[in-house]
Amino acid sequence: MIRSMRPIIVAGNWKMHTTPAEAGELAATIAGRTHVPDVVRVLCPPFVCLQRVRDRLAVLPAGQSVAVGAQNIHHEAAGAHTGEVSASMLDGLASWVIVGHSERRRDAGETDAQICQKVLRAQEANLHVILCVGEQLADRDAGRADNVVRGQVRGSLEGLQPAPLEDWDRDAFWGPSPWLTIAYEPVWAIGTGRNARGADAAAMADVIRETLGSLGFSDQAHEIPILYGGSVSSTNIDEFMAEPAIDGALVGGASLKPDEMAAIVARAGLTAAARAAAATA
């Protein structure tokens, strides 16, 4: 079921790439080449590049806004955590944040309990959250994929209080906006040469929404956008955007290439236009 409140989102995760000077120019180029009606664009550069990207995007013409996101926050509000960044430190620099990315789970050993605290910190700071979930290859091959993702969604959101639909923020990007977006990133399909299919992502989106419902999100389970994030490129985006359950993409390496981002956003725009037409029919 598609409802008009679910936006189409393309978010670029630049990971540990670009200097501040490079990031500002890249953000401006991508913004200029990806302005497509009804597609929400988010760029997530490294922390040291946030100000430069913010400043370059701030001068875009009205109606062409691109949001700035951070790639991570700490699970505590403040404290003796050398080298870390709190949610409140992003005030004025970013309006979105990625939490629970598979590389953070792998490299930093982040747990679902810590990720849940990050979601809470982001809520307190009025940041839009992109929560990443996804299974490893061994889990999929053993038939545990659904249970693993259910557990991640539960562990990352259990006990949190979802805001009522009527209280969802309204901003310059698309009107009513959910505070939460979930990105399904099958780890086994990232840089391995093994590809996920659109049907895989759609089936997992159903699992995610079912789990959201069981956590008390009720109708919000159908309004929260779900993105696909597994080695997204211009050559495979069509398969995922053709699935009604998928609402966009979290793009990794391809988000550093303006040509790739232009093609990905253009394809997302076709889905956005089709959904808008269906909603008004």
Q: Give CA–CA dist 19/24, Å, rounded.
A: 9
Contact (CB, 8 A) for 47 and 71: yes
Q: Give CA–CA dist 231/131, Å, rounded.
A: 17
Identify whether 75 is a catalytic site residue: no
Q: Enter the DSSP assignment of 230.
A: S
Distances (CA, A) of 102 to 34, 71, 86, 107, 257: 27, 12, 20, 8, 22
Task: Name the catalytic one among 135, 185, 243, 260.
Answer: 185
Q: Give CA–CA dist 73/274, Å, rounded.
A: 35
Identify whether 128 is a catalytic site residue: no
Task: Name the catalytic one among 101, 103, 110, 135.
Answer: 101
Q: Give CA–CA dist 123/9, Å, rounded.
A: 19
The residues annotated as belonging to the active site are 101, 185
